[in-house]
Amino acid sequence: MQIPAGNNLVESYFRFMKNWDNETKKRLIIKLTQSIDSEDNSQYDFSSCFGAWEDERTADEIIEELKSDRKNNPEIEDF
């Protein structure tokens, strides 16, 4: 009998949480249920994290700004 990978994850979490007090377990159940029953079922589009940088400045202007914001501190702090 083969167990799907998702079940292994659930079993790992269960082993971690099985010794929690009942009140904490109930709060977790409520939070998980709310996350399933929420009205917002829109899917997060991970690809929206990628793309070209949009800016009115030229590449040279951005580079110059980055360089001008650098702060060098020659003093070495003791630990």
Tell me how far apart the alpha carbons of residues 11 and 52 are, in angstroms, rounded to a whole number. Answer: 41
Residue 9 lies in a domain: yes
What global pTM score does this model have? 0.41
pLDDT digits (tens, 9 = 90+) for 11-54: 999 999 999 999 999 999 999 999 888 766 566 777 777 877 78
Residue 18 lies in a domain: yes
* pLDDT at res. 5: 63
Contact call for residues 66 and 59 (beta carbons, < 8 A): no
The 10 Å CB-count burial string (b at 16+, else e) for 54-75 is eeeeeeeeeeeeeeeeeeeeee
Judge whether 65 lies within some domain. Answer: no
Q: Is residue 73 part of a domain?
A: no
The reply to whether 62 falls in a domain is no
Residue 66 belongs to a domain = no
Distance between CA 10 and CA 15 in Å, rounded?
9
Q: How many domains does the chain have?
A: 1
Residue 49 lies in a domain: no
What is residue 15's three-state secondary structure?
helix
Provide the domain limits for residue 12. Answer: 1-30
